[in-house]
Amino acid sequence: MQRINYFVEGLQGAGKSTFVRRLAEYLKDYEVFREGDYSPVELAWCAYVTMEQYDDILAVYPSLREEIEAKTVTEKEHRIICYTQILTEIPGFHKNLEKYEIYNGKLDREPFEKVIFERFSKWKGEGQIFECSIFQNIIENQMLYFMMTDDEILSFYSKLEKILSDQPFKIIYLDVEDISGAIDVIRKERADDDGNELWFPMMIKYLEESPGGRKHVLTGLEGLLAHLEQRRDLERRIIGEVFKEKAVMLRAKDYELGDIL
């Protein structure tokens, strides 16, 4: 019997990383894929480049060749560089590699969906745990950059569910009721030793500068909360109408592993 795969999902601040850690401690023989890791399905915080682009990057950063090669995985005609895991003080390195991500409107809708569907189609996983690999990055791109309607996004996930229909998987959705409270917690957690916030200003900049953020005038904390509430409601709908029994809804930070295992 195949071991089931787990996709841990939920809004920012839902406690996904903590849940993944606890689940991995319980299922010690499982393979874990966190954001920024090389993943067979997800590409968040990774550069997705052709062989020619890869050679160009190595030529621009010869002093980082060894580090880049160590953080690169080859998939046929593409190279996937886990560039955020490369520590360097070279100015502009991470910003330059960010240009090769597939999110934030860097790919048009059709090629973006093609990449997602192809990767999930090729995936034949067993005994694996994924952190926010089905919802967060994909839906943020769809809502804020492609400005797709809820029904269009629902249609996308219906296609994805069909692709995954033969795979043994379960979505663990950490449902956040108090979004404002969750954001308050994450703002404090992701600050430096002097209390200067690191995550929140970046998140607000990302939101406000996105096409969807500009169109709907999503600014500051109020705009972020409105966006996340809409996203949460959409994710609840996707679970209820598309994934159904293949998903488990847990109250964020108020659950027992026995509820799913």
Residue-wise pLDDT tens digits, 93-109: 999 999 999 999 999 99
Q: Around 15, how many Cα atoms within 13 Å sit in the side-chain half-sphere?
A: 21
The pLDDT, as a whole number, for residue 259 is 67
At residue 39, does pLDDT exceed 80? yes
Domains of the chain: 5-40+109-259 (3.40.50), 46-100 (no CATH)
Strands 5-10 and 247-251: unpaired
The mean predicted confidence, pLDDT, of the chain is 95
When pLDDT is averaged across residues 118-143 and rounded to a whole number, the result is 96
Distances (CA, A) of 189 to 137, 197, 226: 21, 9, 22
Written as six digits, the tokens of 46 are 């990774």
The rounded distance, in Å, linking the Cα atoms of 111 and 236 is 26
The pLDDT, as a whole number, for residue 2 is 75
Helix (H, G, I), strand (E, B) or coil at 62: helix
Written as six digits, the tokens of 34 are 């966190």
The pLDDT, as a whole number, for residue 260 is 73
At residue 132, does pLDDT exceed 70? yes
